[in-house]
Amino acid sequence: MGSEMRLLAISPHLDDAVLSIGAWLAQAAQDGAKVTVYTAFAGLASPPYSAAAERMHGIWGLSRDEDATVYRRKEDIAALDHLGVAYRHGRFLDSIYRKLPDGRWLADHLDGAKMQINEDAPDSDPDLVASISDEIKSVIDELSPTLLVTCAAILDHPDNQATRDAALFAARSQGIPIRLWEDLPYAIIRPAEVELPSGFSLGAADFSPATAEMRTRKFQAIECYPSQLAMFRGRNNNNTFERLDSHARKTSADGGYGETTWPVLVS
């Protein structure tokens, strides 16, 4: 990548891009590319909150007096600044703050689970996808990216799926090439096949080795999300960085760190 590259990463949440391709983004910026991360589900939520949201706020280590979305936006700005990339925060509410058409919360709080999407939730929300796609197109008009990259939505999460599909449709309408990243650390925990909307298919996986400097910069950026690190540790106090290293070694030819993306083929 060089100074002629304008890279737009479309992240579902305030951490997904950094966790998945932080080293790649940092390397692109160092090579002279103009890099921006647009986070779709970064809208400012206000109480009352769902039981699922209240529980997540507690897991993140936030008090009832703290505004969770403002707090997380600040984490994200610090992380992306450390990578040397710009940011845009979208207006859409995270799933833990949204409701179904009948007024029930989209996300349930279940005993023994951090969160589960209500079983009555629709498999997809075409109006939401269309709205996100329109906002992505506005960002495209502003930044004129030469490449889009977003999540593969390996994680079975409505926010990730909506973000991916919206980015795919926006990229196709604007004639911009698009790549998908491996959703980390979720792909380590629950690997699954990637199913894309009709008219899109995955090309061959591309493992991009990262230098020691870029790996370190990525891991330092991840540390800017203390709320999320608390969640990823879980009951077994898992080390997020050891898991990322171990996962990369399974793909790396030389045992070093790196990240996986796929080009999207449009028919």
Domain ranges of the chain: 6-47+68-105+123-266
Percent of the chain residues past pLDDT 70, beyond the cut: 91
* Residue 201: count of CB within 10 angstroms of its CB: 13
Mean pLDDT, the chain, whole residue set: 92
The single-letter DSSP state of residue 186 is H
168/150 Cα distance (integer angstroms)? 9
| H/E element, 233 | helix 226-233
Six-digit token string for 20: 């998945």
The model carries a pTM of: 0.94
Q: What is the pLDDT of residue 123?
A: 63
**CB proximity list for 45: less than 8 A, separation 6 or greater:** 53, 68, 69, 93, 94, 97
Q: Average of pLDDT values for 158-177?
A: 97
**39-82 residue pLDDT tens:** 999 999 999 999 889 989 999 999 988 999 999 999 999 999 99
pLDDT digits (tens, 9 = 90+) for 197-207: 999 999 999 99
Range scoring the smallest mean pLDDT among 87-91, 96-100, 170-174, 237-241:
237-241
* Structure confidence by residue, pLDDT tens digits, 122-145: 666 889 999 999 999 999 999 999
Q: For residue 95, which of 127, 118, 129, 65 has the smallest C-alpha distance?
A: 118
CATH of domain 6-47+68-105+123-266: 3.40.50.10320
Partners of 209 in the beta sheet?
258
164-168: which pairs have CB atoms within 8 A and are 24 or more residues apart? Answer: 164/12, 164/196, 165/124, 165/129, 165/133, 165/197, 166/10, 166/40, 166/129, 166/130, 166/132, 166/133, 166/136, 167/10, 167/133, 167/136, 168/196, 168/197, 168/200, 168/264
- Strands (DSSP E) along the chain, which ranges? 6-11, 34-39, 86-89, 107-108, 116-117, 147-151, 178-181, 200-202, 206-209, 258-266
